[in-house]
Structure 1
């Protein structure tokens, strides 16, 4: 241990904004940014929230770690409310409870956050928790706390925790053999209005995950909250269920090039007819049902391409759609037209709609970081794949420019510390049919802007230099 050397690792991630996500809500008749309400204490990344009903909150307040924070009278008077959400404040994606105390100023809340696992003494260790929702006396959620059985396969399972006793039990079917067809993993649990049924998106009929990234192959199953669970499939090819009533489920599905939100009546069991709630030709996803005919969704009305300077309709916004013929109602477009908003949830029976978004609209993303051999310089590419930047003790600067986006990526330093040389890919990224060159940028940190093509033909990418400089 005395000879141990520590260093740094530079990396970038996709589908994750560089500024924290946080949770907000707006009324249906939103007129200005002042109508938007911040729902958390503002610490860390926070997302995927659901409101905790007053009866459930009263039970939570009887837990020893919560008893001093409020009582039933505070809940009944409206002074105290709560929500369950995911936060990364403990370096894990786990469930937390936000107690929200109403200030004299109606546009602000005093918020105190507690870890769900601390309050109910459930799980510890490395795990993910998500999609918390209330079913009577239970909190229902999905977690990866169980041991992984198969490599490259999901192991998310739905659990419920009793709000009175903290007794916790698994609802997802357990694997009973090593056969592929027995792999069961559930996502996105949603509780019916009566609290007696739970809908999940499940890989059950597909033998697990088959490598898909965005359009996950799941069906929607329904089971009872209490045993016998009576688990059954009600919707083929669907995800993100949300109950409009005890017989109506909204869900999303990709059809052709676009995602849409659909409505299904499951009163007779497996649904065979589906009503498309959102129009074709735009993306709509992650429904949150307000009632049996009305649903809040996240929409992208106009697709964007790599390198686009996005216009307002290319951002993800929260809208409300109605199956009775009423016009869609914009929520977030009216207050933050150039920000992406995600995963709506319903507050006060639909008087307000919650969602999460980045705390700022000023996002500057950097990708493909690489350290020089001595660790004194860091090179990277901007999010448009347009310019190469270097950061060192002299500051931050562009050292290689190109004519437009999607033109340069994957820089790597020559491993000889005496040679100030960067190697890059120049040409369209991740396109096997186009010409792509490996180029050298000599005296890179000086920013002279010169480069030398090292490859002659074909498609060449991701250079890696040898330690001996040959």
Structure 2
């Protein structure tokens, strides 16, 4: 039976909270958050000759520069890329000095705190090139940023599968709100490189993914819709393929039902992928009529790749129509690889596995002359790209008064003064200064979450035990003093029934937390000094989960996550309640989705949270390196208005913190010897006629657990 808190404690708590410091006076603040697994890999774009006799490690070229994450490349037509590069003096100098012509590539990059599209001309020469380069004193690369935040009103946007058509770039951006919860913001745009003039090609409110421009440049094909079938997990979207005019988006027509990732062999031939009825991901061919009405009823489709091998993200060959490039998953490998598929003989030919058998290779593309195939993979040594990580990665965001950073590990929290940051490594609790100095491990055991005491300097509260555990699991709240020479902890809960997510009141007298002691995860308040031995006040009660609780700086409100409208599910919303249990109200929801981890701003006027409100930003099959269903970081006012999307990516962004200082707008490097790129393919890429391996992996995760896209 619960031991109620003394009434004198409770009324003192309310009085002190009502008169607490409201945290005003500092208009510059910082939001930290974690993207699940994002810091464990870096991609570059590579290329190999298509010719079987030339496929070897010595002929693999890295054609991006190793800065940040570079992916989804495209070999542009020479007429398009050279017209943009010819005026660049470095391009002219290198062209005169280096015998071999450059490799031109358009690609997506996440450098400089936002997603952009770059055009590079990369020069490779014989052994004498090093001497010539030394003489020239110029690098062997010419690099032009094509599309950045200036094309989306200074908002960060996701760019997917870009194409360069003359002086125009066709790409995907997520900067316009669809206006509907869990409906994707992804849409296709065209931007003129020289003037910046940008036009939306997708109809209002319609999500389009994976655009491909036809060889003539007249038509663009997209994978569209699919969200009516989206359950919220990373899985096939079941999109359809539409074709429209590249110039203005007109003459839009559906040509294929159930297909994704279109690619053109010519203006009347499309290849695409989808999951076949027999369970195998396969490549299909769509032949469009050369005259008459174009539509689903007039387009002839046929399956190209056979069952027994998963094949997806095709790239058509324009100059040599006898083959396509695909990414595959074979039964005898847990990695994706690039292969050439002969559409005449129906035979596969492996490209990347003989060179890098234990690395994933993604999203192939073929050069205009059909002699080279490109793809992206992890860069670095054979283990997949280990080395240094970014402890804090600075990101651009639409609110200039807020500094936004991606944190290396989850559950960051700021000290009351903002001079220190705690985070969980699971296992391990760490403390570091905002500039990256003073990094220390405070506790080596399995803990998650962190919150600083506002009155007891150096005291951090955390949850000791397994995360994502049932209500009866042994999880307790502990207090750790990070300023002690020998770190010890003080246990505040005694029953061990999944007590987690502690947050102290502004006066330091109480702690709100969630507990499974009743058989359900609900919210309680206990004495910050004596713990639950000093008494408990039950804040919420019901057969659902209330969790992720956070106390407002003025003490008036407690924000939390709850699935009370959908008990037993992952469908959660953000609620607020007074510390005396009155005034319950919902402040944010993504509809039939997930919103979680609310944290008040230092001035108590806003909340930062994570949510899948914006749906998916790309075809999930094309982003197999991602670990979880997508969530983004948002800020809202306390009345639920003015929701602002702070991040635009394909990652699972979560566990935010909002601190009272403005961190310097620069990345902070963490020295690390960790192994990068050690992730699995998506759990839903299974082998239909052999489920034994999947069952064995599920057992290692606890029975029927799904294998996420990642570690």
- TM-score higher than 0.5: yes
| Structure 2 partner of 1:288 | 315
8 Å Cα contact 1:86/1:96 also seen in 2: yes
| Structure 1 partner of 2:386 | 362
Matched, 1:216 2:248: no
Shift of 1:221: 0.6
SS in 1 for 2:106: strand
8 Å Cα contact 2:313/2:326 also seen in 1: yes
Shift of 1:189: 0.9
Q: Deviations over 1:193-252 (max 9, x none)?
A: 34332210112x767988565433521111243579432112223222122444443333
SS in 2 for 1:55: helix
| Structure 2 partner of 1:60 | 84
**Structure 1 CA distance for aligned equivalents of residues 337 and 494 of structure 2:** 44
| Structure 2 partner of 1:263 | 284
Matched, 1:27 2:49: yes
| Structure 2 partner of 1:405 | none
Which structure 1 residue ranges, 5 or more long, are not aligned?
Answer: 176-182, 303-311, 403-407
Higher relative contact order (CA 8 A, sep 6+): 2
8 Å Cα contact 2:224/2:239 also seen in 1: yes
Match of residue 155, structure 2, among 107, 126, 134: 126
| 1:236/1:5 CA distance change after superposition, 3 Å | same
| 1:401/1:259 CA distance change after superposition, 3 Å | farther
| Structure 2 partner of 1:159 | 189
Match of residue 326, structure 1, among 331, 347, 358: 347
| Structure 2 partner of 1:306 | none
Matched, 1:93 2:131: no
| Structure 1 partner of 2:273 | 252
Matched, 1:111 2:132: no
**Structure 2 CA distance for aligned equivalents of residues 401 and 258 of structure 1:** 43
**Structure 2 CA distance for aligned equivalents of residues 447 and 377 of structure 1:** 19
8 Å Cα contact 1:96/1:116 also seen in 2: yes
| 1:274/1:257 CA distance change after superposition, 3 Å | closer
Shift of 1:260: 2.0
| Structure 2 partner of 1:305 | none
Matched, 1:430 2:468: yes
SS in 2 for 1:462: strand
Q: Deviations over 1:161-194 (max 9, x none)?
A: 5679887544323x3xxxxxxx313221102234
| 1:338/1:42 CA distance change after superposition, 3 Å | same
| Structure 2 partner of 1:307 | none
SS in 1 for 2:39: coil
Matched, 1:38 2:62: yes
| Structure 2 partner of 1:401 | 445
| Structure 2 partner of 1:234 | 255
Match of residue 334, structure 2, among 311, 314, 321: 314
Shift of 1:258: 7.1
| 1:452/1:300 CA distance change after superposition, 3 Å | farther
| Structure 2 partner of 1:140 | 170
8 Å Cα contact 1:135/1:196 also seen in 2: no
Q: Which has the larger radius of gyration?
A: 2
Matched, 1:456 2:495: yes
**Structure 2 CA distance for aligned equivalents of residues 464 and 346 of structure 1:** 54
8 Å Cα contact 2:280/2:307 also seen in 1: no
- CA RMSD in angstroms comes to 4.4
Matched, 1:467 2:506: yes
SS in 2 for 1:314: coil
Which structure 2 residue ranges, 5 or more long, are not aligned?
Answer: 1-23, 131-138, 290-294, 390-407, 511-711
Shift of 1:70: 3.7
Q: Deviations over 1:235-278 (max 9, x none)?
A: 22322212244444333335699772421323354257552637
8 Å Cα contact 2:339/2:348 also seen in 1: no
